[in-house]
């Protein structure tokens, strides 16, 4: 019997539907995905995947990026959702999320209550302006999330900016750091015990306000406090009965720009802290250059600042030289020039004493961070210590030179450019990482009755540890407006009125590395290339692309249908 064309078509349709159903049924048990982007934008780092697989309970994420948003924040919201979906692929049971519009209520009082509650929980708002049919309206958004694990909730500001109005560049940077921010929040929520960091004081170090931005940033992951030694042997460690050596009370120590001599007993306490496995970040000014005194007298003479730390650093494998670096890659300074009429003129000049270091190393501490701003920095040398590995992290530009002690610093340097082409010493080292087993700087220098005292618990050779030495103390100092009682983000430039330097990321990455949080560093150092659309062409060609996107799909479907009908008619004529 000949099969009728109608029955044949019906059979083909049923077979097609059966095949599609079978494929969908099999696909429900398989997770086949491919990331075809060059930088693997939609692929999680191994550190994030490992953290997700270790979740033993539900992590619930509330993201407040919903509702009527401008194009940049809408794109940011989609990127956040895509990332959370990718995370759920690796942990579908213990990761849940929802997107919430904090401005959804039509009642103004209800909206204010929601805003106040979110701010109390640690989220900051951004004010955006929306344009619709020639009218402008203002809208409050909270570009952040609340990560809840059991009874602990951690706020995470996904869009981090000191300015209340976000722009496209800030959104792009936030998308690049999105995985780090969420992974860091997950770890904070799920970790019960934090590593301990101490900022040393008592020797003229930077005050709390001057390091407040980094303190707050580190406090998101670690327990941060301040400590004074005051020649107390138990200031950084304590003895435990039955143990031969002391146990540190902190995991890392930050020594930020001291300006006075360390007593021998304080240096001994720091040395033994390192011998017992403590990590130290040395941020030192070995020359007493000061911009404030320079503005008063037009010039000053910088001489060595005796801190008493040279022997310690030498024993560990580094030496900060008594010099100051001038670099053609530098920050600007504003100075008054000759009077113009009845008024003095304020002009901007390159200030060679404040190098802007562009990291050349591929080490994860400095990989993919913005240039680092240094103020009156010094070079350093590494010392041959077999058990210590040295990695140069920061160097000057190819056009730089170092002036040895004593150094005459004058504001006139802005008018006579140094001969960088003829006298340059390229790539002067200014920051180094030391890793390995350190030897005590007090070896063979202490009386036997002191080292034999069990309460002292002297240690001659240390546990494996790490240190970072940078020849500048201001690298960690944020700008402070004391008249208003406020501070600015570390890396903020007052002339650009924006954060443009990578000092903040440098310090955070360095501390993560010292404390063996290499997973967080691998996430932060990841770079995603974001290809922006031309905003001018978007405005000029808006009608054209709207027409294409609206009409083209309909035309394509009609042409395909016409072609299909012609093809069927042609096949039917052939069969006849």
pLDDT of residue 45: 81
pLDDT of residue 162: 45
CA dihedral sign of residues 121, 123, 127, 130: negative
pLDDT of residue 163: 46
pLDDT of residue 4: 65
Q: Which residues contact 312 (CB under 8 A, 6 or more apart)?
A: 267, 270, 271, 441
Q: Which residues contact 264 (CB under 8 A, 6 or more apart)?
A: 308
CB atoms within 10 A of CB 233: 18
Q: Which fold has domain 196-289+303-324+362-404+423-514?
A: Rossmann fold (3.40.50)
Is the separation of the CB atoms in 21 and 28 below 8 Å? no
CA end-to-end span of the chain: 18
* Cα(118)–Cα(65) distance, integer angstroms: 13
pLDDT of residue 18: 87
Is the separation of the CB atoms in 274 and 237 below 8 Å? no
Element (H, E) at 283: strand 279-283
Query: And the tokens for 382?
Result: 């590494």
Among the listed residues 265, 256, 203, 210, the one whose alpha carbon sits nearest the alpha carbon of residue 233: 265
Among the listed residues 219, 218, 380, the one whose alpha carbon sits nearest the alpha carbon of residue 285: 380
- Running along the chain, 576 residues long, what does each successive block of 10 average in pLDDT? 65 82 74 60 78 89 88 87 90 92 88 90 77 65 90 84 56 80 86 90 95 92 94 92 89 96 96 95 92 73 92 96 94 76 75 92 84 95 93 94 89 76 88 95 90 89 94 95 89 87 92 79 60 61 80 84 79 69
Q: Strand, coil or helix: what is 35?
A: coil
Q: 346 pairs with which residues across the strands?
A: 336
Residue 295 C-alpha from the chain's centroid: 33
Is the separation of the CB atoms in 239 and 246 below 8 Å? yes
* Cα(485)–Cα(80) distance, integer angstroms: 35
Is the separation of the CB atoms in 251 and 225 below 8 Å? no
Residue 293 C-alpha from the chain's centroid: 33
* Cα(175)–Cα(528) distance, integer angstroms: 8
Q: Which CATH number fits domain 46-187: 3.30.160, 3.40.50, 1.10.3470, 3.40.30?
A: 3.40.30
pLDDT of residue 41: 62
* Residue pointed to by tokens 């310690």: 312
Residue 496's alpha-carbon distances to 14, 331, 363, 507, in angstroms, are 67, 11, 28, 22
Is the separation of the CB atoms in 396 and 355 below 8 Å? yes
Query: And the tokens for 332?
Result: 């600007």
Domains of the chain: which residue ranges?
A: 46-187, 196-289+303-324+362-404+423-514
Main-chain phi, psi angles of 459, to 5 degrees: -125, 125
* Cα(378)–Cα(474) distance, integer angstroms: 12
DSSP letter string, 374-442: -SS---EEE---TTEEEEEEEE--SSEEEEESSEEEEGGGGTS---HHHH---S-EEEEEEEEEEE-TT
């Amino acid at each position: 019997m000949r099969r009728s064309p109608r029955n044949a078509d019906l059979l083909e349709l049923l077979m097609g539907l059966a095949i599609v159903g079978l494929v969908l049924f099999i696909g429900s048990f398989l997770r086949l995905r491919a990331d075809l982007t060059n930088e693997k934008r939609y692929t999680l780092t191994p550190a994030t995947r490992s953290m997700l697989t270790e979740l033993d309970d539900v992590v619930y994420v509330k993201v407040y990026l919903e509702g009527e948003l401008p194009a940049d924040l809408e794109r940011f919201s989609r990127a956040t959702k895509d990332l959370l979906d990718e995370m759920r692929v690796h942990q579908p049971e213990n990761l849940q999320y929802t997107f919430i519009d904090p401005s959804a209520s039509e009642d103004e009082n209800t909206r204010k209550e929601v805003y106040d509650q979110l701010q109390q929980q640690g989220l900051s708002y951004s004010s955006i302006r929306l344009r619709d049919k020639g009218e402008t309206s203002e809208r409050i958004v909270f570009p952040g999330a609340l990560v809840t694990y059991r009874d602990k909730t951690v706020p995470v500001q996904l869009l981090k900016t000191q300015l209340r109005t976000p722009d496209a560049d800030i959104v792009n940077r936030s998308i690049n750091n999105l995985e780090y921010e969420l992974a860091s929040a997950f770890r904070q929520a799920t970790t019960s015990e934090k590593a301990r960091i101490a900022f040393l004081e008592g020797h003229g170090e930077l005050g709390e306000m001057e390091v407040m931005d980094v303190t707050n940033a580190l406090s998101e992951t670690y327990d941060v406090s301040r400590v004074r030694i005051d020649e107390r042997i138990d200031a950084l460690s304590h003895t435990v009965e039955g143990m031969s050596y002391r146990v540190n009370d902190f995991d890392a120590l930050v020594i930020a720009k001291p300006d006075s001599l360390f007593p021998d007993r304080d240096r001994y306490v720091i040395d033994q802290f390192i011998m017992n496995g403590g990590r130290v970040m040395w941020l030192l000014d070995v020359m007493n250059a000061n911009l404030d005194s320079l503005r008063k007298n037009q010039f000053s003479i910088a001489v060595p600042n005796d801190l008493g730390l040279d022997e310690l650093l030498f024993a560990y494998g580094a030496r900060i030289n008594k010099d100051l670096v001038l670099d053609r890659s530098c920050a600007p300074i504003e100075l008054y020039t000759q009077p113009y009429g009845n008024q003095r003129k304020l002009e901007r000049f390159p200030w060679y004493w404040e190098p802007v270091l562009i990291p050349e190393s591929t080490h994860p501490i400095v990989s993919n961070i913005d240039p680092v701003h240094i103020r009156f920095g010094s070079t350093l040398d590494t010392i041959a210590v077999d058990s210590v590995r040295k990695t140069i992290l920061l160097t000057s530009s190819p056009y730089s030179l170092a002036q040895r002690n004593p150094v005459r610093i004058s504001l006139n340097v802005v008018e006579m450019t140094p001969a960088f082409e003829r006298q340059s010493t390229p790539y002067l080292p200014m920051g180094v990482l030391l890793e390995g087993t350190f030897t005590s700087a007090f070896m063979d220098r202490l009386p036997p009755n002191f080292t034999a005292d069990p309460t002292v618990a002297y240690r001659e050779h240390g546990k494996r540890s790490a240190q970072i030495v940078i020849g500048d103390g201001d690298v960690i100092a944020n700008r402070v407006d004391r008249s208003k009682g406020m501070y600015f983000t570390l890396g903020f430039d007052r002339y650009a009125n924006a954060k443009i330097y990578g000092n903040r990321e440098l310090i955070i990455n360095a501390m993560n590395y010292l404390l063996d949080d290499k997973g967080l560093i691998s996430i932060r150092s990841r770079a995603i290339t974001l290809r922006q659309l031309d905003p001018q062409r978007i405005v000029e060609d808006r009608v054209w692309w709207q027409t294409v996107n609206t009409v083209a799909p309909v035309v394509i479907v009609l042409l395909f249908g016409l072609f299909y009908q012609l093809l069927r008619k042609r096949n039917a004529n052939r069969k006849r």
